Amino acid sequence: EKSFSHKLPGEHVYKGVLFFGYSPPGALDAVKDLQVREDDVFIVTYPKAGTTWLQEILWLIMHDGDFARATSTPVYLRSPFIEFKDDVLGEDGLDLANKIDSPRVLKTHLQHSFMPMETNKKNCKIVVLFRNPKDVCTSYFHFYRSSSSFGQFKGTWPDFLDMFLAGHVDHGSWFDFTASWWQQRNRDNVYLMYYEHLKENTLAELEKLAQFVGKGQLSTDLLSHIAEHCSFGQMKTNPMTNHLDVYSINSHISPLLRKGEIGDWRTQFTVEQDEIFNRVYAEKLGHLDIPFQYRP
């Protein structure tokens, strides 16, 4: 077992998984007991897979393109992060989830076994968004540097890469998360998407997504409007989605909407680091043959 010097504020290990203090044990317990509604849609991602992008897309799909609300209320208030609790701000994702009207679009980064128990019984919808892990790791490194929730990481990139490969980061191992959801992908109410497909084929992906969540065939006009509103450039300048107002993120170090590209890992990884990553990947997940796309 390696030891790591970086400490997350309030970090703790819950059922074998490392969490920062904004997902305290009590909040993780309470999530298990969340009362699920039949028309709930869960967005399940590992951090940095494109969660915010999918939140904005799905919220608009579920609310028939209510752009008036989308441009007047921050996305994190419309689509609660269920295992997030900030005692300083008094923000409680679960509390918010219990208060908002249906249809709810709920965000979580949890592995399958940590999910609300009722998601296994009720006919809610679960949309899982995957992104190639080298871009996830790169994005997570920059977010660790900029966010006080993660203790504004001062270590080096090689330090972070070690932490990521060991699962010693908030919400634990990307490998465990991914294996847990890959196993669920054939359930009727689970829909697996890829960041890279969404980026390269946005309209077609939105059309399939709308079908999955029960919205049927939405008009091309509406889907194009949503795709345009949710483009990287639009979301980066839109104060309701860019998170420039979130006190914990120092956007001068690195904004949440940083690059939004496929393959930025190639500017971050050395050849040797790439080889190490590939070796660990092959050992842990190689047998699953998940079709990750690493390049545009």
Long-range interactions of 98-105: CB distance < 8 A, separation 24+: 98/34, 98/35, 102/37, 102/39, 102/40, 103/39, 103/40, 103/41, 103/62, 103/63, 104/37, 104/39, 104/40, 104/41, 104/80, 105/41, 105/43, 105/55, 105/58, 105/59, 105/62, 105/78, 105/79
Smallest distance, Å, CB 74 to ligand A3P? 13
Smallest distance, Å, CB 204 to ligand A3P? 16
Q: Does 230 bind ligand A3P (CB under 6 A)?
A: yes
Q: Which is nearer to ligand A3P, 135 or 176 (CB)?
A: 135
- For ligand A3P, the binding residue among 260, 263, 281, 284 (CB under 6 A) is 260
Return the residues of window 196-215 that contact ligand A3P according to CB under 6 A: 199
Q: Does 108 bind ligand A3P (CB under 6 A)?
A: no
Return the residues of window 66-105 that contact ligand A3P according to CB under 6 A: none
Binding region for ligand A3P (CB under 6 A) out of 79-87, 94-102, 145-153, 250-258: 250-258
Binding region for ligand A3P (CB under 6 A) out of 64-72, 149-157, 255-263, 277-285: 255-263
Beta bridge partners of 108: 44
| Phi/psi at 34 (5° precision) | -55, 135
CA distance 172 to 167: 5
Beta bridge partners of 92: 85
Q: Which of 129, 125, 169 is nearest to 145 (CA)?
A: 169
Q: Which is nearer to ligand A3P, 117 or 200 (CB)?
A: 200
How many C-beta neighbours within 10 Å does residue 100 have?
14
Q: Which is nearer to ligand A3P, 123 or 127 (CB)?
A: 127
Residues designated catalytic: 109
Q: Does 147 bind ligand A3P (CB under 6 A)?
A: no
Whether cis (ω within 30° of 0) applies to the bond prior to 103 is yes
Q: Does 225 bind ligand A3P (CB under 6 A)?
A: no
Distances (CA, A) of 233 to 172, 227, 237, 257: 30, 11, 7, 9
Beta bridge partners of 18: 13
Take residue 100 and report the two structure tokens written for it: 């908002």
Torsion sign, CA atoms 151, 155, 158, 163: negative
Binding region for ligand A3P (CB under 6 A) out of 155-163, 173-181, 229-237, 270-278: 229-237
Q: Which is nearer to ligand A3P, 124 or 198 (CB)?
A: 198
- For ligand A3P, the binding residue among 21, 47, 65, 155 (CB under 6 A) is 47
Q: Does 139 bind ligand A3P (CB under 6 A)?
A: yes
Q: Which is nearer to ligand A3P, 92 or 170 (CB)?
A: 170
Binding region for ligand A3P (CB under 6 A) out of 25-33, 63-71, 135-143, 149-157: 135-143
Binding site for ligand A3P (CB under 6 A): 45, 47-53, 135, 139, 142, 199, 230-232, 235, 256-260, 264
